[in-house]
C-alpha cells in the first residue's frame, strides 16, 4: 500500500500538483519508517505542500471537510485526492492511523514536546498535524507572549500619576462623538506591560502613538533607555524612520526633554529584523538568541503583519526578559510570504478587556470601554486596535471598508459612482490602457522625460535632480496580483519596456538603461541594500550610468549597475512587495482569469497603499470573487495563545 501511495504522489508531482520537495519529504518519512501506513507519505506530502502556501499545520477537521479551500488543484486532482483520503476521511482516523508510525508524536492538548533524543519529524495534537519545528515555535511563542503580557512594569503601577503626562501628549481628542481616545489608551497600555500590539489600518496613527509612547519613556525613565526600531524589510525600516520623523514634529514640548528632535535623532535608524538578529549566511540561525540576547530595553517593530512564525520565535528568543516589545501593524493586510499569520492570530483577541485593565484605562486616560465577558485572556488586554484613518479621503476609505467587510455590491457601487479624480475603474483590462501610464504626460512619463535630459554637472544640482526623479517615481505605482504571466509583474514590465523602445525612448535592449526603476530582490549586506529596496538608473554628472537609491535627508546613494546582481525592473511590482509603502496614486491590475491569490486581503492591501487616487484595472467578476475569497491560513497559534487546553 505504501509503495502504491508513493507512485500516486509521483504522478501528482508530474502533474504539477505537488512540488518535488513535497515528494522528497514523503520519501524521507518512508525511509525513517518503512513499515508505516500509507497515510504517512500522503500526510507528509500534503503538509509540506501546504507549508509552502503559508500554513503552519494541517487543521484536520477544516482540511478534510473541504481540501479545495486550501489546495490550488484542478478538479481532477481533487477527485484523486478524495479517493486517496477515502480510507481516512475523519480526523480521528488520521490520529489513530498515524499514531502507529515512529515518525509521529501524538500529544494531548498542548503537552510539552519530548527531549531532543526522542524527537519525531511530525507532531499531531488537537486534530492538527505539524512539522516539528512549527510545533516547537508555536508553543514557544504562545508561552513567551503569555508571560510577557502578564508581566507588569513597576513604573506604571500608579495610573493616576500617568494621567498628566498623557494629557500633555494627547492634549485634546478629535475623535467624533463619544468615541474613546484609543491612541491615548494604546500609549497607556504599552507603558504598563512588557508586550503590546497597536494595530490598525493605514493612517490610523500607529507611528504617531508610538512616538508619544517613546517620548513618555524618555521623560519618565530615571536612566537612559536603549530604544531600537525594526521592521521586516529594508523598505519598511526606511518608512518607519520617515513616519517617526514626521510624528516627532507634532510632539508637544516636555520639560524633561528640552530638545525633542535631538532626543529622537540620537536613536539609531531602524533596522531589518534579519540585521537586528544577526542573520548568518546560508543558515537559519541568528547570532542573537537566548544565550546571546539583544542589547536593548525597548523594541518597536513596524509592519508586524509581515513577520512569519519562525521569525517571531527567533525574535522572542533573542529578546531580554526585561525588555518591552511593541508591535505595530495592520492585521487585515496580507500575511507574511513565509508560513504563519502571526499578527492576525494575535489580534483576534483584540477589543476584550478585563475589569482591572478597564479600571487602569479610566484612571490613566479618563475613559474606558465596558469590561469584556467570559474572562478575557491576559494577552487580549495588551492589544489596541485604532480604527479612524486620517490618511484617506472618504471614497478610498469607503472602498477599503467595503472590501474589508466582504461586501462586493457596495464596492462595485462605490467604484461606479466615485469621483474620477479619486477612484477609477477599468472593467476590461487592456494593455494599451496600461501603456498610457508611460506616456509623456503621465507620472512614469515625467520620470522618463527627466531621465532623458543631460544630467547637471554641478554635484549639488545633480543630487537635487536625482531626488526630484526619485520623488516623482515614488508618488505613483502599478501593482499586480500575480508575478508571472501577461497580467503579472513580468508581463507588465516587459510590455512597458517594449512600448518605450517602440517610441524611441529606450535606446538599448540591455538590462540597464537611463530611467530604469530597479527593485532589489535579495539582501546584500555588503552594499547595505535589502530585499525590496528600489532605485532608479540615471547618468551621473560625467554621464556614466549609476543606480541611485533614496537616502533619507542625505544625497541619494549611487551604486554601479555591475555591482547589483539580484534586481528586476520595477515599473510594476507585486502587492506583497508594496507592503509598508504608500503612493499618491496606486494602480492595481487583476488578471482576467481567476487565481487563488486574488483575495480580500490582497485587494485591501493594494487599496490602502493609495493616498490620493486609486485605479483598478480588473473585470467585475474578478473583483467580486476576490472580495468573497478570504485568506485563511491553518494554524494552531491562536488556540495555543488564548486556550492553552487546546
Query: Binding site, residues?
Result: 200-207
Please name which of 475, 467, 468 lies closest in space to residue 444, comparing C-alpha atoms.
Answer: 475
Distances in Å between the alpha carbon of 503 and those of 289, 448, 486, 537? 55, 12, 21, 19
The C-alpha cell at 385 is 486596535
Q: Report DSSP letters for 501-558, one per residue.
A: HHTT-----SS--TT-EEEE-S-BTTTTB-TT-EEEEEE-TTS-EEEEE--TTSPPEE
Instruction: Give the count of beta carbons closer than 10 Å to the beta carbon of residue 121.
Output: 20
Residue 190 has, within 13 A of its CA and on its CB side, a CA count of: 29
Distance, CA of 236 to CA of 233 (rounded, Å):
5
Distance, CA of 245 to CA of 230 (rounded, Å):
15
φ, ψ of residue 301 in degrees (nearest 5): -115, 120
Binding site, annotated residues for ATP: 200-207
Distances in Å between the alpha carbon of 8 and those of 3, 40, 134? 9, 13, 27
Distances in Å between the alpha carbon of 4 and those of 7, 39, 41? 5, 11, 11
Give every CB contact of residue 327 below 8 A, 6+ residues apart in sequence.
196, 197, 198, 199, 301, 304, 307, 343, 346
Distance, CA of 570 to CA of 542 (rounded, Å):
25
Distance, CA of 408 to CA of 410 (rounded, Å):
5
φ, ψ of residue 486 in degrees (nearest 5): -65, -25
Distances in Å between the alpha carbon of 190 and those of 499, 550, 559? 52, 32, 41
339 contacts 56 by C-beta, under 8 angstroms = yes
Task: Please list the alpha-helical segments (H only) found in 158-304.
Answer: 159-169, 182-192, 206-220, 234-248, 260-265, 273-277
Sheet with 383-386, strands from edge to edge, namely 271-272, 227-231, 298-301, 324-329, 195-200, 383-386
Helix axes 2-14, 75-84, angle to 10 degrees: 170
Distance, CA of 268 to CA of 274 (rounded, Å):
16
Distance, CA of 223 to CA of 295 (rounded, Å):
15
Distance, CA of 481 to CA of 423 (rounded, Å):
19
Q: Is the dihedral of CA 364, 365, 370, 374 positive or negative?
A: negative
Amino acid at each position: 500500500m505504501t509503495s502504491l501511495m508513493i507512485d500516486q504522489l509521483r504522478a501528482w508531482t508530474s502533474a504539477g500538483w505537488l512540488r518535488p520537495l513535497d515528494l522528497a519529504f514523503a520519501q524521507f518519512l518512508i525511509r525513517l519508517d518503512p513499515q508505516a501506513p500509507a497515510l504517512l507519505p500522503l500526510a507528509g506530502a500534503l503538509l509540506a505542500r501546504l507549508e509552502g502556501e503559508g500554513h503552519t499545520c494541517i487543521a484536520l477537521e477544516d482540511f478534510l471537510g473541504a481540501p479545495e479551500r486550501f489546495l490550488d488543484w484542478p478538479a481532477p486532482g481533487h477527485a484523486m485526492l478524495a479517493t486517496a483520503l477515502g480510507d481516512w476521511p475523519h480526523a480521528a482516523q488520521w490520529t489513530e492511523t498515524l499514531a502507529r508510525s515512529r515518525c509521529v508524536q501524538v500529544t494531548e492538548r498542548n503537552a510539552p514536546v519530548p527531549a531532543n533524543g526522542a524527537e519525531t519529524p511530525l507532531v499531531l495534537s488537537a486534530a492538527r498535524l505539524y512539522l516539528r519545528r512549527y510545533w516547537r515555535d508555536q508553543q514557544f511563542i504562545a508561552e513567551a507572549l503569555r508571560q510577557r503580557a502578564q508581566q507588569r512594569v513597576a513604573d506604571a503601577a500608579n495610573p493616576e500619576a500617568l494621567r498628566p503626562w498623557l494629557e500633555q501628549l494627547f492634549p485634546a481628542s478629535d475623535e467624533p462623538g463619544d468615541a474613546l481616545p484609543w491612541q491615548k489608551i494604546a500609549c497607556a497600555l504599552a507603558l504598563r506591560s512588557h508586550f503590546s500590539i497597536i494595530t490598525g489600518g493605514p493612517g490610523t496613527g500607529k507611528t504617531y502613538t508610538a512616538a508619544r509612547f517613546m517620548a513618555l519613556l524618555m521623560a519618565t525613565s530615571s536612566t537612559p533607555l536603549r530604544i531600537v526600531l525594526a521592521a521586516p524589510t529594508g523598505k519598511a525600516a526606511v518608512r518607519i524612520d520617515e513616519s517617526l520623523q514626521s510624528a516627532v514634529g507634532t510632539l508637544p514640548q516636555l520639560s524633561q526633554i528640552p530638545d525633542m528632535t535631538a532626543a529622537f535623532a540620537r536613536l539609531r535608524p531602524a533596522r531589518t529584523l534579519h540585521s537586528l538578529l544577526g542573520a548568518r549566511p546560508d543558515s537559519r540561525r541568528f547570532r542573537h538568541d537566548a544565550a546571546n540576547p539583544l542589547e536593548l530595553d525597548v523594541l518597536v517593530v513596524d509592519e508586524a503583519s509581515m513577520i512569519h512564525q519562525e521569525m517571531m520565535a527567533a525574535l522572542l528568543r533573542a529578546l531580554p526578559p526585561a525588555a518591552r516589545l511593541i508591535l505595530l501593524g495592520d492585521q487585515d493586510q496580507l500575511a507574511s510570504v513565509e508560513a504563519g499569520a502571526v499578527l492576525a492570530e494575535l489580534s483576534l483577541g483584540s477589543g476584550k478587556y478585563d475589569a482591572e485593565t478597564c479600571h487602569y484605562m479610566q484612571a490613566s486616560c479618563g475613559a474606558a470601554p465596558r469590561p469584556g465577558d467570559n474572562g478575557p485572556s491576559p494577552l487580549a488586554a495588551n492589544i489596541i486596535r485604532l480604527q479612524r484613518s486620517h490618511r484617506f479621503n472618504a471614497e478610498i476609505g469607503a472602498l477599503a471598508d467595503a472590501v474589508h467587510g466582504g461586501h462586493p455590491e457596495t464596492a462595485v457601487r462605490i467604484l461606479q459612482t466615485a469621483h474620477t479624480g479619486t477612484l477609477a475603474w477599468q472593467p476590461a483590462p487592456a494593455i494599451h490602457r496600461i501603456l498610457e501610464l508611460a506616456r509623456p504626460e503621465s507620472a512614469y512619463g515625467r520620470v522618463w522625460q527627466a531621465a532623458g535630459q543631460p544630467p547637471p554637472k554641478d554635484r549639488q544640482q545633480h543630487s537635487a535632480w536625482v531626488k526630484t526623479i526619485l520623488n516623482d517615481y515614488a508618488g505613483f505605482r502599478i501593482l499586480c496580483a500575480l508575478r508571472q504571466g501577461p497580467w503579472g509583474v513580468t508581463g507588465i514590465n516587459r510590455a512597458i519596456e517594449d512600448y518605450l523602445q517602440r517610441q524611441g525612448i529606450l535606446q538599448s535592449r540591455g538590462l540597464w538603461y537611463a530611467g530604469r526603476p530597479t527593485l532589489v530582490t535579495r539582501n546584500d549586506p555588503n552594499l547595505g541594500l535589502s530585499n525590496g529596496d528600489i532605485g532608479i538608473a540615471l547618468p551621473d554628472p560625467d554621464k556614466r550610468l549609476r543606480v541611485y537609491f533614496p537616502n533619507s535627508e542625505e544625497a541619494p546613494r549611487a551604486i554601479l549597475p555591475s555591482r547589483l546582481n539580484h534586481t528586476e525592473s520595477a515599473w510594476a511590482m507585486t502587492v506583497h512587495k508594496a507592503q509598508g509603502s504608500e503612493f499618491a496614486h496606486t494602480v492595481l491590475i487583476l488578471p482576467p482569469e481567476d487565481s487563488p491569490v486574488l483575495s480580500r486581503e490582497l485587494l485591501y492591501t493594494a487599496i490602502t497603499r493609495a493616498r490620493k487616487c486609486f485605479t483598478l484595472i480588473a473585470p467585475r467578476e474578478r473583483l467580486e470573487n476576490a472580495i468573497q475569497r478570504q485568506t485563511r491560513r491553518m494554524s494552531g497559534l491562536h488556540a495555543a495563545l488564548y486556550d492553552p487546553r487546546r
